[in-house]
Amino acid sequence: MQTTIDFANLEFSVESTDVDEDQFVSIWNVAASTMGGDATQARALASKILGFLCKHRCSLVTSSPSDVKYLDEWFERDNSLLYDWKPESDKVDVVSQHAYVPFDLFRNFLLQHKFLGDKNYSPRRVDRVEWFTNDWNVG
C-alpha cells in the first residue's frame, strides 16, 4: 500500500538541537523535522529538495572536506549516489545527511524560487555532477 503525502503546503521547520552555532543544518534534518520525524516522508521531501536545489544551482550547500571526500569517493565507486534521488532511494539519505545549509537563507531561497512540494524536480545527470562539483561549498 502506497501512502500519498501532501507536500503542497509545507511549513519548513528544524529542531533547534539540529542547528549548529553558525545556523547550519543538514537537508536531511530539515526534511525530517518538517515531516514530523517520519523517515519515509523525510526521504521523499529530501529528494524533492535536492532536485530543486540542483536545478537552481543553489550555492548555499556546504559540506566538510571529509564529507565531500567521502561523497566523491562513493560516487567514483557507484555513480548512482548522484543519479538516484528517487523518493525511495537510500542515496537521498546519504547525500542529504552530508549537505548543510544555513536554515533561514535556505528557507528564503525555496520561497524566492517558488519551491512547490507537490512538483517533481529531476535535474539532468550532468547538472547533478556540476552542482556537486562546482557549487557546493567546502568548509
Mean pLDDT over 8-34 rounds to 90
Residue among 61, 29, 28, 56 nearest 114 (CA): 56
72-113 pLDDT, tens digit each: 999 999 999 999 999 999 999 999 999 999 999 999 999 999
Contact 105, 60 (CB under 8 A): yes
Which cell numbers hold the place of 52? Answer: 530543486
Coil, strand or helix at 58: coil
The secondary structure of residue 4, as a DSSP letter, is: P
Query: What's 16's DSSP letter?
Result: G
CA 86, CA 33: separation in Å to the nearest integer? 20
The three three-digit cell numbers of residue 33, written as one number: 523535522
pLDDT of 6 above 60: no
Task: Please check whether residue 91 is in contact with residue 85, taking contact to mean a CB–CB distance below 8 angstroms.
Answer: yes
- Note the pLDDT of residue 2: 33
Angle between helices 90-97 and 65-77 (to 10 degrees): 150
> Does pLDDT of 9 surpass 80?
no
24-26 sheet: strands from edge to edge: 24-26, 100-102, 62-63, 137-138
pTM: 0.92
The domains of the chain are located at 22-138
